[in-house]
Amino acid sequence: SYELTQPPSVSVSPGQTARITCSGDALPKQYAYWYQQKPGQAPVLVIYKDSERPSGIPERFSGSSSGTTVTLTISGVQAEDEADYYCQSADSSGIWVFGGGTKLTVL
Amino acid sequence: EVQLVQSGAEVKKPGESLKISCKGSGYSFTSYWIGWVRQMPGKGLEWMGIIYPGDSDTRYSPSFQGQVTISADKSISTAYLQWSSLKASDTAMYYCARGALYSGSYLEGGAFDIWGQGTMVTVSS
C-alpha cells in the first residue's frame, strides 16, 4: 500500500523557520495537502495543492514540492504553532493516505 | 456557516454493533465527498474511506474494507460509519470531514477542508 513518510519530530526556537518534509513515490503526480492538529482538536487544513493557503491561514505557512518530496515551511514560528502536522495525498487508484505525522516543538 | 456535526461519544462492548453519524449543513451536501478518519489514542490520522452522497459512490482504504460500512442519507444531509461487531481495537476518535476536489476528478485526489468535532468510540468489556 502507498505510504507517505514524515520525520516524527521537528524542534525550532520561536522566530526561526521550521521545515517539515513528506516523501512519497506518487507525489510528482498527485498534489499534497497539509493539516495542523492541536491537542484535543480536530485537524485543520493549512496547505492545499502543494502550496496554496486556505483563507484564514497565516502567511507564515507555505508549501513547496520537489520530485518525491513536499515540504511545509513555517516562517517566524510562534508558540501557537506547536502542534502535530500531517501530510496527505492520494495514490493512482483514488485511495487517500496520511503521513505518519510530525510533532513540531517550539523550544 | 459550513459545518459537520457528529453524534456523541459511545461506550460499547466487544461484539456489539454501532452506527455513528455526521450531519452537514451550510453547503450542498450532495456536491462534496464525505470521508471518515480514525485516530487511535496517541496515534496519527488514518484514512478509512469516503462517500459521495450525490450517488453513494463509496471507496474504502484496503485496511478498512470489510471492517466498516460507510453510507449516507442525502435527504437528511447525514453520513454514517457503522460496525457490525466491534473489537477493543476499534477504540478511537473518529472524525468525519468534507472532501474537496481541487482538480475536479476524484482520482486526482483532494483534501478534507471541513472537519467534524469527532466521535470517541470506546470498546471495552
pLDDT digits (tens, 9 = 90+) for A58-70: 999 999 999 999 9
Please indicate whether, in this complex, the C-beta atoms of A96 and B110 are within 8 angstroms of each other. Answer: yes
Average pLDDT over residues A56-83: 97
Which of these, B10, B33, B32, lies nearest to B21 by C-alpha position? Answer: B10
Query: Which of A50, A84, A96 best probes binding to B when mutated, by most B CB atoms within 10 angstroms?
Result: A96
Mean pLDDT of chain A: 96
Q: Is the pLDDT of residue A77 over 90?
A: yes
Q: Can you tell me whether residue A96 is helix, strand or coil?
A: strand
Looking at this protein, which amino acid is placed at residue A73?
Answer: T
Say how far residue B68 (Cα) sits from the centre of its chain. Answer: 10
From A59's Cα to the closest Cα of chain B, the distance in A is: 18
Query: Which of B101, B115, B117, B119 best probes binding to A when mutated, by most A CB atoms within 10 angstroms?
Result: B115
Average pLDDT over residues B86-106: 93
Q: B27 vs B1, B31, B42, B69, CA distance in Å?
A: 8, 8, 32, 24
Q: Tell me whether A92 touches chain B (CB under 8 Å).
A: yes
Phi, psi for B107 (deg, rounded to 5):
-70, -10
From B47's Cα to the closest Cα of chain A, the distance in A is: 6
Average pLDDT over residues B89-104: 93
β strands within B7-77, DSSP E:
10-12, 18-25, 33-39, 45-52, 57-60, 69-73
Angle at B102 between CA B6 and CA A71, to 5 degrees: 95
Q: Per-residue confidence at B105, pLDDT binned at 50, 70, 90?
A: confident
Task: Kindly list the residues from chain B whose CB atom is less than 8 angstroms away from the CB atom of residue A90.
Answer: 107-110
Q: What is the pLDDT of residue A94?
A: 86
Average pLDDT over residues B83-106: 93
Written as nine digits, the cell of B79 is 453520513
Average pLDDT over residues A19-37: 96
Please indicate whether, in this complex, the C-beta atoms of B113 and A45 are within 8 angstroms of each other. Answer: yes
Q: Can you tell me whether residue B103 is helix, strand or coil?
A: coil
Q: Is the pLDDT of residue B104 over 80?
A: no
Q: A78 vs A12, A18, A35, A86, A107, CA distance in Å?
A: 10, 10, 17, 18, 10
- Which residues neighbour B103 within 8 Å (Cβ) at sequence distance 6 or greater? A31, A49, B109, B110
Residue B8 is classified by DSSP as P
Q: What is the pLDDT of residue A67?
A: 95
Taking the CB of residue B120, how many other CB atoms lie within 10 A of it? 16
From B121's Cα to the closest Cα of chain A, the distance in A is: 15
Please indicate whether, in this complex, the C-beta atoms of B63 and A1 are within 8 angstroms of each other. Answer: yes
- Distance CA(B32)–CA(B99), nearest Å, equals 6
Q: What is the pLDDT of residue A84?
A: 98
Mean pLDDT of chain B: 96
Q: Encode pLDDT of B10-59 as tens digits.
A: 999 999 999 999 999 999 999 999 999 999 999 999 999 999 999 999 99
* Residue percentage of chain A with pLDDT more than 90: 94
